Amino acid sequence: MEISCDGFPVDNVDPSKVRREIILSVLTETGELTTNSIMGLPNTSSKTKGTGDLSKTKIKEMMREARLMRNFKHKNIVRIYGVAVDEQPLYIILELVKGGALNIYLRTNANSVDIREKIAMCLGSALGIEYLHKQNCIHMDLAARNCLYSEDKVVKISDFGLSRIGSQYTIRTAMKLPIKWLAPETITTFTFSLKTDVFSYGVMVYEIFADGGEPWDGVTNAEVKKGLTEGRVLTLPMSCPEKLRNFIRDRVYTKEPGGRATMSEVIRFFVENMQSESLEMEMKTDEKDKALKEDGERSLFDRLVRSPLKSVISDPSAHIESFEDKVKIFLSNC
């Protein structure tokens, strides 16, 4: 079997060339993510499937995930380089993302992740999900635990074990589902779609602003299922900008999928509304940034609110080649 990445073909990787070095704190029910040194493939990690005999079904699932991932080439999606299937344990060889799981990063660095970084996390993950949706892929398990965060602060969507190609997918076999991240229609009909991904993304936004805290903390799955079907939604932390709280509530947490935003609309909201909002909120919580320096230098607030991005967004006559350019400028200012 051959899997390629950017034209670099990788047949079944020889397991003897895969050396386990560090166990990361990224675990799933079906395997674990480890960092490895692979001959000819620096900066890679591997997803290990089991240590004992695997059924044909499990092997088939692993190969389906690998085939799905090999088509994805995006900054906010974890890259695949190959598989090792000739002997057990089996490996999916992935891009190495040293920062680890996003939820763990948020919990570990709760006192140092500022609002601009959190907004950049939200936008980065949205860009990755939008890319998947343009490939007609439903992730089906979006959560901070299934995102990795690189050392250069880039969110990367990972864990495609449940993902499917298509605009809609209905589960017909019994399986454990992450109730607190599900859209109301998934709970009632077991159906997933691009719009259910959008709802789960909204729960991820909660996780980001709650410093990796679990949604519906202290509430049972049964109570969450009942509440969601009755129209109850999460309340985002007050640290989340008001405009974003309102947008998530009104356009993402909608009970009816038809009224839910697309990921492209989510991205446009961030680029057109969140830059100056995030900077102003940050200023309110940092007394040092409010004071003018004695040497007459402009305050940090003055410098930030007059940033190039604010000018581009507020001045319709400003030259900008495309909406994609706005996204790039937004990220460069975060």
| Peptide linkage before 9 cis (omega within 30 of 0) | no
Active site residue 211: no
Cβ pair 183, 257 in contact under 8 A: yes
Residue tagged active-site, from 11, 141, 159, 295:
141
Cβ pair 182, 204 in contact under 8 A: no
Q: Which residues contact 251 (CB under 8 A, 6 or more apart)?
A: 259, 260, 261, 265, 266, 269
CA distances from 160 to 102, 129, 285, 330 (A): 16, 12, 38, 28
Phi, psi for residue 151 in degrees, rounded to 5:
-65, -25
- On the CB side of 30, CA atoms within 13 Å amount to 19
Which residues form the catalytic set?
141
